[in-house]
Structure 1
């Protein structure tokens, strides 16, 4: 326990001296000295030069060894796989992005393994090498880390992805929901560092919600919390693949936004939408206005339910076009009491497309450091 406490302080505050560690933790100097020596032997920290003296011998400063090992984070999307290799501080050392022609895991398993192998090959010499792999998917992941439903990906639910990857690469593997991973990535490395309670809204083909309460991901009893893309906003609405009607994501997802444009063959991608919006195309501007309006409607229910400190939106269109964010804010303010409107911060994702992969990487790193100091 003492070792864990000391390592956490060194990770957060290095360079730091043994004397300062004793002051912060309340541990006596001999305990600090003994445990620090153990952490040095484990290659988790190392000594650098002397710091400034406050009236005696200059202290030897301690630094966290962020290069002791490396983690891989993988985000499996509907039409892409994004992979990153990070050091123990979450710095991205190498990345791989692969566009998928078909959203079928069976057909793309070889692509996934190829990306992991390529990332593994980029690991520099280090005491621990590859410490683990984190993978996130846009669907339901139960408490046993098994994927049991992916509404927008053709997935073989008999496939135990965790066991499959662990067998191939011989390291711990963690499977997580994409929105949960994105929320955790923003919490550990991004815009939400200073918030204990937050909501992360991932808007893509569908809508996923990641919930962080008191600094921990809230998963619910079976691991399914946050499926608020299937919140009903029109009780007589369209039939959804989840079995419900009038789901939020049928009105406020990228898939719904692009649907009408694709039918007439006019626009087929976000990039075209962004380009035409910047050209002041009236049809595109109206569609984006409605997109923001419907996003705001769902967010009002989320704000009223969770009363978070911060809401973080991850979406390429919202990040590229300020008018969409303004539409979201107007929709929220027109349907909320001022106390709700003023009681939270509304951010765009600071990590962009890497948020989920960084979230899975941080889960791997936390597990490694927990085991290393056990």
Structure 2
């Protein structure tokens, strides 16, 4: 009995190896797979035949004959349309959903405002959006393998529970249990910044890297950590909360007031909301400032602060450059501890990356003891949804992983 189980396990493992070999080296012949994988030719041929029959692999055309002559080998390709995966990013402002093929090509996309359906049910509306896309694009619903979801808060992926997501008022929300009321296929969830890190590793500026620090800088500041190709979640699934770093001990001697309830120090001095609030307060103290009237009646945004800083406005540059310094110190501390190959910045910071990135690099590279790439997100607004697709493909047990 044990022998049969071992044979089944060996076959499953070899089948995954063969498919991975085809994905990475296509077009490729059966003989080339055998050579690269060190699996016997008869076994490779048998496994390829199964993969072709199951529609994971396509046979196309004929390759070049060897120098010894003989028949030209049939070329094999991974069938990226063999199945589809849904990726959903649930944000405090917007819920975005995509349907992708198996290599991350987005086939269709849909979104709606979070607040509009928060009371009536986000999952119910996501289900409606998914069905609408399937019908509009005439997709075969039987080829939907499942869904990955990014959530703006602390999650327990193994239990399928959202521990706390303040922006959508979820506490101990049984996400997977609720999702099963609407979807029959497998679903996996994780923190939205974690899935963004997976997205950048799969298709973005951290592609093929195994040690990654993804930092999302917006109103808050958080990070996703991939260590030795595995997401690092921490003992209570709360790893990566960079927003709680302290980057000025003198400031902490005073009474610390977070920008929002339960926000940390770094995001309270370097997040977008904090930058806008500080600029507004400084201009309110300067009656002769061109923006005095505007700042007296409404708060300036962080985005406006960066725009003014780029134009050379002195007060805005002071505020923005100070925030960049704090962010740089946080990056130095995190990178010194984790030693990543690459650091990727995402979130609202992307809108002003041309101003931020050179200044960050100057400070970080000056103090950091080891070399590291420091880039902005290549996937931009798609990082979370594509990361959610990647999460599914990693977690779902199939021939694909």
TM-score, normalised via structure 2 length: 0.83
Partner in structure 2 of residue 224 of structure 1: 238
Shift of 1:14: 1.5
Higher Cα Rg: structure 1 or 2? Answer: 2
Tell me, yes or no, if the aligned pair for 1:276 and 1:284 is still in contact at 8 Å.
yes
Partner in structure 1 of residue 8 of structure 2: none
Partner in structure 2 of residue 53 of structure 1: 65
SS of residue matched to 1:248: helix
Shift of 1:158: 4.5
Q: Aligned ranges for residues 218-257 of structure 1 at < 5 Å?
A: 218-233=232-247, 234=249, 235-236=252-253, 237-239=256-258, 243=262, 247-257=265-275
Tell me, yes or no, if the aligned pair for 1:14 and 1:63 is still in contact at 8 Å.
yes
Tell me, yes or no, if the aligned pair for 1:289 and 1:323 is still in contact at 8 Å.
no
Tell me, yes or no, if the aligned pair for 2:220 and 2:243 is still in contact at 8 Å.
yes
CA distance, structure 2, for counterparts of residue 29 and residue 6 of structure 1:
11
Partner in structure 1 of residue 333 of structure 2: 301
CA distance, structure 1, for counterparts of residue 111 and residue 352 of structure 2:
20
The answer to which of 284-293 and 139-148 deviates more is 284-293
Partner in structure 2 of residue 315 of structure 1: 347
Shift of 1:122: 4.6
Match of 1:157 among 171, 174, 177: 171
Partner in structure 1 of residue 161 of structure 2: 146
Tell me, yes or no, if the aligned pair for 1:292 and 1:325 is still in contact at 8 Å.
no
Match of 1:27 among 39, 49, 70: 39
Shift of 1:85: 1.3
Partner in structure 2 of residue 347 of structure 1: 375
1:166 aligns with 2:180: yes
1:324 aligns with 2:356: yes
Shift of 1:255: 2.3
> Which structure 1 residue ranges, 5 or more long, are not aligned?
none
CA distance, structure 2, for counterparts of residue 32 and residue 178 of structure 1:
39
Number of equivalent positions: 366
Tell me, yes or no, if the aligned pair for 1:123 and 1:129 is still in contact at 8 Å.
no
CA distance, structure 2, for counterparts of residue 269 and residue 243 of structure 1:
20
CA distance, structure 1, for counterparts of residue 137 and residue 392 of structure 2:
16
Q: 1:105 to 1:275 in 2, by over 3 A?
A: farther
The answer to which of 256-265 and 284-293 deviates more is 256-265
Cα shift readout 1:227-263 (whole Å, capped 9, x = no counterpart): 222223353432476757x521111212222334577
SS of residue matched to 2:182: helix
Tell me, yes or no, if the aligned pair for 2:145 and 2:185 is still in contact at 8 Å.
yes
CA distance, structure 2, for counterparts of residue 102 and residue 125 of structure 1:
27
Partner in structure 1 of residue 291 of structure 2: none
Q: 1:106 to 1:120 in 2, by over 3 A?
A: same
Q: Aligned ranges for residues 130-209 of structure 1 at < 5 Å?
A: 130-142=144-156, 143-151=158-166, 153-209=167-223
Shift of 1:367: 4.3
Partner in structure 2 of residue 87 of structure 1: 101
Q: 1:60 to 1:333 in 2, by over 3 A?
A: closer
Partner in structure 2 of residue 113 of structure 1: 127
Partner in structure 2 of residue 38 of structure 1: 50
Alpha-carbon RMSD across the aligned residues, in angstroms, is 2.6
> Which structure 2 residue ranges, 5 or more long, are not aligned?
1-12, 282-294
Tell me, yes or no, if the aligned pair for 1:15 and 1:61 is still in contact at 8 Å.
yes
Q: Aligned ranges for residues 260-275 of structure 1 at < 5 Å?
A: 260=278, 264=295, 265=298, 267-268=300-301, 270=303, 272-273=304-305, 275=307
The answer to which of 70-79 and 113-122 deviates more is 113-122
The answer to which of 116-125 and 79-88 deviates more is 116-125
Cα shift readout 1:12-46 (whole Å, capped 9, x = no counterpart): 22111101100011111110011111111111111
CA distance, structure 2, for counterparts of residue 51 and residue 219 of structure 1:
46
1:76 aligns with 2:90: yes
Tell me, yes or no, if the aligned pair for 1:185 and 1:359 is still in contact at 8 Å.
yes
Cα shift readout 1:276-314 (whole Å, capped 9, x = no counterpart): 445433333333222211210111110111011110001
Partner in structure 2 of residue 357 of structure 1: 385
The answer to which of 198-207 and 22-31 deviates more is 198-207
CA distance, structure 2, for counterparts of residue 111 and residue 290 of structure 1:
42
CA distance, structure 2, for counterparts of residue 149 and residue 321 of structure 1:
30
